[in-house]
Amino acid sequence: MENIVENRVLTYDLYCDYVKKLKDITLADNVWNIETNDVVLKKAIDLQLAATRQGTAKTKTRSEVSGGGRKPWRQKGTGRARQGSIRATQWVGGGVAHGVTPRDYTFKINKKERALALKSALTHKLNNKELVVVDSIKLETLKTKELKDMLAAMNLTGKVLFITKEDNENLFMATRNLGYAYSIMANEVNCYDLVNADIVVCDQDAVEVIEGGLK
């Protein structure tokens, strides 16, 4: 482990009532400074999004729609095209050919790919100067206004992801009313939330938890 150079980490250098200043931070190179693998990262994000799909879409085949127990007219002599059932796919109200059926969209990747994807996402945030590490995050109340004041004091814009070691109820409740702020615990860190955020604000204890789970 070695000290990350100053221009690679955004440390919060403004005192306010919400966060404590952190002058220096030591990060593990094998977690925050690896050769990224964007293919594996995309695969991990696809896995996470696929797991959220319900997979309940369903269409009826010709054997499942109602009606059509016999031929609508005789085979020959009517001048019309021959038809076997009004449940055939070419009929209005008939069955659907090759329609969707309920399915499970989830798939698996191995543990090494999961770890590599998460490390790649963390490295991207660090290299793009989208990581802010603070000593602690503190909100006196769960009001959204207080959170907005904190973001303004820290001069943070865009989608902001807060990562804390333990459950921070005030922070979690305050972020629920904002469409651009989210809060998760360190053991819930995932590739999609990291990539989706413009800025990641992480307290020092959460950094230790993340590094401990990926070493």
Q: What is the pLDDT of residues 27-70, one digit of tens each?
A: 888 999 999 999 999 999 999 999 999 999 999 999 999 988 89
Q: What is the pLDDT of residue 20?
A: 53
CA distance 177 to 172: 10
Higher pLDDT, 158 or 10: 158
What is the number of other CB atoms lying within 10 angstroms of the CB of residue 172?
17
Which domains, and CATH codes, for the chain? 2-53+107-214 (3.40.1370.10), 59-99 (no CATH)
Average pLDDT, integer, range 16-32: 69
Q: Please provide the average confidence, as pLDDT, over all residues in the chain.
A: 87
Q: Are 143 and 109 in contact (CB under 8 A)?
A: no
Q: Are 162 and 178 in contact (CB under 8 A)?
A: no
Average pLDDT, integer, range 165-193: 92
Question: In Å, how far are 29, 47, 104, 148 from 42, measured between CA atoms?
Answer: 22, 9, 20, 32
Q: Does the pLDDT value for residue 15 go beyond 80?
A: no
Q: What is the pLDDT of residues 87-116, one digit of tens each?
A: 999 999 999 999 999 999 999 999 999 999
% of the chain beyond a pLDDT of 70: 89
Q: What is the pLDDT of residue 167?
A: 87
Closest CA to 196 of 166, 159, 168: 159
Q: What is the pLDDT of residue 24?
A: 67
Q: What is the pLDDT of residue 2?
A: 36
Where is average pLDDT lowest: 11-15, 16-20, 44-48, 82-86? 11-15
CA distance 140 to 97: 59
Q: What is the pLDDT of residue 19?
A: 57
CA distance 118 to 181: 20
